[in-house]
Structure 1
Amino acid sequence: MTGPRPLAFAATGLSKTFETRTAVDDVSFVVPTRTVAALVGPPGAGKTTVLRLLLGQLRPTSGTATAARFTNTAPATSDAGTAVTGHASSIADSGAAAGTPGTAGAGRPSGTAAAERISGAAAASSGAALAGDSYGGGLGSSSMPGADTVGAVLTPRGLHSRRTVRDQLRVYAAAAGVSDARVDELLTRTRLDDVAEQRIDRVTEGVRTRLALAIALLGDPQLLLLDDPTVGLDAAETAWLYEYLNAHARRGGTVLLTSRTLSSVIPVADELIVLDTGRIVYQGSPARLRRSHPDRLLVKASSPIALATMLAARGITDAVMRPDGRLAIAETSVAQVESAAAAVRVQLTEITSEHIHPDQVLAALTRPAGSAVRTPAIYGAPR
């Protein structure tokens, strides 16, 4: 009998307030290992803020955020730095953001273990990597080389416009103590070989997104935090990315990514966490969300009530009367509707299909974002 999977990411009562605006409000979720999970919501929903709280780049106002064995908690009595716990290590809030591409200014933690660190790649908010022991007693048993690391792609990507793609990756590799051979391997894996010698300001946004992913993969991490990883990717690049993420999960890895649309993550996500103005409005599988917002047949009938009664007698109970008099029926077929109508001598004058697009579901769950929450400029606006 297989026991519960250990947790890779978790939030408990997590909140973050900037000045007088709340970006994240009492958020709780768990992401077990070997899962691809998606944080979904409109701009301003708090998605990027949640990722930064998980990475320890922001201090919670209340609650906790856990990535691997690192737990970021709100300080009990003062504002004197971010409390990121794990063998008594601590990461300063200001240091986590102060670096620039190629620097190691990612907030050097105190503590005695050399492995307890955030690598230099985290400094530019592009390829953050947390190193240390496993969280929950389970990650350490993985056969994946980077079972004790978290790789992250954040926004902005933290890329130097005048460097070439290869040189940018080498800068981060040097900061993380990774060989040039690993750089060449990642250029191939992320399909950047053909543009490796081009300057970053002359490549497409999709190339920059894949470069940010390559940086996050330098330490061969088991855990990935990806902020809008499909930005700028064409259909083929997106299909490649999703195939890679699914394979990563099958190998024992875990992914938490963000998206502004449901349609873009349905093909890859095992679990959905939908945010609206900082609060969770849905948490569960895509299939369960789909069942609560099914496609329907819109039927115009001479007696909708008689038709609905007969359908219910045959076990088809999800039928809703629309204001225009049509019956909206879920989980049925045209043949079943016609058979029920014939049984009660109801005349049908129109049957049309209503497909519910995933982003219609997202719009129903959320509301338009108001003005952006004001945050420290170094982090950008929360999303």
Structure 2
Amino acid sequence: MTAVGRAASRGAEHGPASLQDMRRQNLSVVLAAVAAHSPLSRADVSGRVGLTRAAVSSLVDELIGRGAVTEAAATASGRVGRPGRALTMADDGPAGLGLEIGVTHLGACVADLRGEPRVWRRVERANAGRPAEAVLADLAALADEAQAEAAALGLRVAGRVLAVPGVVPNTPRGLLERAPNLGWHGVRLADHWPDPDTVPEPENEANLGALAEYWNAGNPVETFVHVSAGAGIGAALVIDGRLFRGARGFAGELGHIPVHPDGPRCPCGARGCLEQYAGEAAVLREAGLAQHDGAGTGDPVALLAERAAAGHPPTLAALERAGRALGLALTSAVDLIDPDRLVLGGAYAELAGWLLPAVRAELAERVTVRPWAEEALRPAALGRRGPLLGAALTTVRRIMADPTLLPAA
């Protein structure tokens, strides 16, 4: 685990508030004000956060020392008195490195403290069935390249988080319990990562995609279900603004909800799982495009969108069938969780134009015990970029919540 990850874990174990806790909270408040409203003078910050100018000045000095904030030359503020010096978030300094393992690709992203991605890399790679050691070696090399590019921009990676298409239990952290579409079971990242000092913290890709949507929304809803589709189907539950992982970290396995109990056998061992009707491989098969399933012949999602836009009847029928199955599974989520919104992420976001009518029809027919509006179902704004961006932003959000995670200069 990275230094930021370890410190965040320790912080969660602290007891009653102390002076140190209060300073940590005040640093976070000041940093948030600068992030949201910069450029600001120290006096402006004091007025916004309700702390004395002396207190704000001390906090700003510490944030500058930790590389989170910069202070420009004096500028006139329009008020009586000495000109203020503009505070802004640092263009260089601390950043989060996000990594991603997909069935057909690897990705790396570096985001600065503004939450802006400054480095973005994606390479196509057929990872299904490859040994974890080989995949992680390739990913570590990609991470090194992204970090070097970030360093050239003056960015310093403060934490690393990895989006994975599988189950990451609450304990022990660092374990990938299972990733059926990769063919991995019980993989401990530290056992295979080339450098023990840079092992990333794994998290389920659907969870990170949901968090990225939430963090990037101007006016986010607090309770929603985010469904992410690629080779598999996962879901993330955000309840009252917090990710719900379940008692052991296994929440959100929507792809293995049975929609037809007597249906085909799923790789998980059960029958009639949603993935057998609405997963990428199932849709390609029904569309007559099974040869494009992870075969290194291009982007299968883009191909499906192209065929659907051209009015290809088998593709349209496959997407309608997938939408019906997805709507059936989401009915259970709506009745059980009562979300404000359902968000279709990953491949579903790019195919939403053809999926949404069937999903909405199924929800309208089956959600009968509570109000439900069709506009509450919508595609994710970030599409397939969500999990990787969410991985990078996880470190950024931790720093924003607790700037003391950064080493002092």
Higher strand share: 1
**Structure 1-normalised TM-score?**
0.25
Higher helix share: 2
**Structure 2-normalised TM-score?**
0.23
Which of structures 1 and 2 has the bigger CA Rg? 1
